[in-house]
Structure 1
Amino acid sequence: MRIKSNMISGIIMTLILSVISKFLAQWLPFLGAEGIAMLLGIVLGNTLLKQAGFAPGMKWAEKYPIEIGIALMGLTVTLRTIEQLKLHGILFILLQMSLTILIVLWLGGRLFKVSPKAAMLMGAGNAVCGSSAIASVAPAIGATDDQRRTTVATVSITGVVLLLLLPAVGPYLVGQHNILLGALVGGVVQSVGQVVGTAALINPTVVTYATLFKMLRVILLTIVVIVFSKMAQKQQTDTTVVAPKGIKIPWFIIAFVVLLLANSFMMLPHVLTTGAKSISGFFGIVNLAGIGLNLKINTIKKAGGKFLTYGLVTGLVQVILAVILIRILF
């Protein structure tokens, strides 16, 4: 989308907040830059930066940089990621993701009574890669901005809770085994940044294993988008938003797959892959900053404790599932 003159001030404010969050993360690693950006964004977006003049740019910064970031994530993973996890590691992630999505959809429909699209976003965000997955699935299923923002906030908060708890309880759940701790963290925690942050609180070896498990979840993002897109065509119970006709895969998911394949079969310059990782990571912070700035108190009140409880229950279910599967498969 073209940047218009009335967007510049909002974009600048969002970028400044993102840089500050990245800086503050050095002293608050347990929150991570993404978590800091979202929390500061919620506070500032409802106080100092709530003027209407900032809104167009903040909405642009929330939606479009993350699309480039998701596309560039293709340069940070390869098909060799799958090979390194071996069969039981791949089976663990496939079962963990599938069961998480099924249970989250069931919880959303039967227990928490949220809309089908909100449940799909929760399923994607928790099963795959947090806000990036939600940003990918939302346009494919025709979700509203409020549904997207509320689920991103819920999933991000759940990720922060897991980030604080798993380093302490993980060794009691799966033992002092680096690969098992990597499977637990990489198979459960929501965003890529939160996975790395959680694993770093355990030890550097767990960071390596957790990242491998997490990258397999990222690789499977395209499949999740396609599945939810097809589901949206069949579940047209939300009459205010018509599900898209046909399977509409966002451009950045296609770019993600192309870049992943290029990175798998070609020797790309190291500066290109490391640069892509840095840019993708920063745009993830920009996305959370924009979401925080655009997430108004009224929206949070409207969601109430229901969504937060939904997110925390989902996090607990993910941990239980992961522990059971780890004990069976490993």
Structure 2
Amino acid sequence: MKIKKAHLVGIALVLVVSFVGEFLSRYLPQLGAESLAMIIGILLGNTIFTDSKYGAGIKWSEKYPIEIGIALLGSTLTFKTLSKLGLNGVAFIIINMILVITTVFLLGKYLFKVDSQSTMLMGAGNAVCGSSAIAAVAPAIQAKDDDRRTAVATVSLTGMLLLLTLPTLSHFFFGDNNLLRGALVGGTVQSVGQVVGTASLINSNVVTYATLFKLLRVIMLVFVVVLFAYLAKRDRIKAGTEAADAKAGKITILPWYIIVFAVLIIVNSLAALPSSVHQFSHTISSFFGVVNLAAIGLNLKWTVIKKSGVKFLSFGFVVGASQVILALILIKIFF
């Protein structure tokens, strides 16, 4: 995690792109700072800033800040979130996440023929919290960097489409019912920032409800990482790429930031942390999310995008549409 001299120029570039994304998001709130930073990064990384001297710093920015952001996010959450949503709200989110992950696995295996690691990244990104979930799952399943970047880009683009369509769609199905509109937004949109951005296009009450539903999905991140780590290890054992005497039931040690994330949730639930800590953690976590997308954009080359092609983007968009359909059905059932 130590910053070396060779990292400085790349880190500086990532920070500039991140701040530009934050600035432009004031005028384009419907896109959000994360999406803008990623788009700017892709454009600049494939045109002006292609020199290898930026590579080390960009790669550093892609890995370490988001880990700190994920860890700090735990201090903004509490198990009291569960009680605020009630049994129906909790059941809706948990069942919705299970169905989304199952749908992603089925579509990836049988329709789009995507490898299991990419499928897990897509499942985590869509079911939990976008790029943060992908960043948490990737090392646990030993995913390739290019697969991680492609998954982040696809999930982020899908989130942008939902951001632009859900305000109208939620009104069509649920009228002015803020709780149900919040459930749809909070239960489907990928990143925390995109959830808030989407809900803010409706009204402040929907922002509150959508955020609560989204935070419950974020709390489930630990369980998703454990599950996917187990599945990935089992696949490696079956393929003969894991040690011959390894046990399929043994889980790879969780990354430090997932452990800190879980500990902070417990601490904040038992003894509420000061609001200043919540605000600081939320601000840093949100900005590091923008930094992560800026770095991924700068590192995501046209060749990788071309390689993933229409198939992977179609996979992402079909998953996004499936999420919305599943959420609509479950909302009708539980509410």
TM range, smaller chain: over 0.9
1:238 shift after superposition: 10
Q: 1:242 to 1:34 in 2, by over 3 A?
A: farther
Segments of 4+ moved more than 6 angstroms: 237-241
Distance 1:231 1:144 in 2: 16
**Aligned residue number for residue 329 of structure 2:** 324
Distance 2:161 2:77 in 1: 27
State the number of aligned residues.
330
Distance 1:99 1:56 in 2: 39
**Aligned residue number for residue 155 of structure 1:** 155
**Aligned residue number for residue 164 of structure 1:** 164
Distance 1:18 1:240 in 2: 42
**Aligned residue number for residue 220 of structure 1:** 220
Q: Is 1:263–2:268 an aligned residue pair?
A: yes
- TM-score after normalising by structure 1: 0.97
1:90 shift after superposition: 0.1
1:2 shift after superposition: 1.5
1:176 shift after superposition: 2.1
**Aligned residue number for residue 206 of structure 1:** 206
Distance 1:182 1:88 in 2: 14
Match of 2:315 among 307, 310, 316: 310
1:247 shift after superposition: 2.6
Distance 2:240 2:57 in 1: 26
**Aligned residue number for residue 32 of structure 2:** 32
1:78 shift after superposition: 0.6
Contact 2:35–2:160, Cα closer than 8 Å, also in 1: yes
**Aligned residue number for residue 297 of structure 1:** 302
Deviations 1:217-237 (A, max 9, x none): 000000000000000012239
Moved more, 68-77 or 241-250: 241-250
Q: Is 1:280–2:285 an aligned residue pair?
A: yes
Distance 2:240 2:166 in 1: 40
Deviations 1:134-153 (A, max 9, x none): 00000000100011000000
Distance 1:71 1:32 in 2: 22
Contact 1:142–1:242, Cα closer than 8 Å, also in 2: no
Deviations 1:230-276 (A, max 9, x none): 00012239979869973321110000011111111113222111000
Distance 1:3 1:240 in 2: 37
**Aligned residue number for residue 182 of structure 1:** 182
Matched ranges for 1:6-21 at <5 A: 6-21=6-21
Matched ranges for 1:70-149 at <5 A: 70-149=70-149
Q: Is 1:41–2:46 an aligned residue pair?
A: no
Q: Indicate the RMSD between aligned Cα atoms, in angstroms.
A: 1.6
Q: 1:251 to 1:323 in 2, by over 3 A?
A: same
Structure 2 residue runs of 5 or longer lacking an equivalent are none
1:3 shift after superposition: 1.3
Match of 1:247 among 246, 249, 252: 252
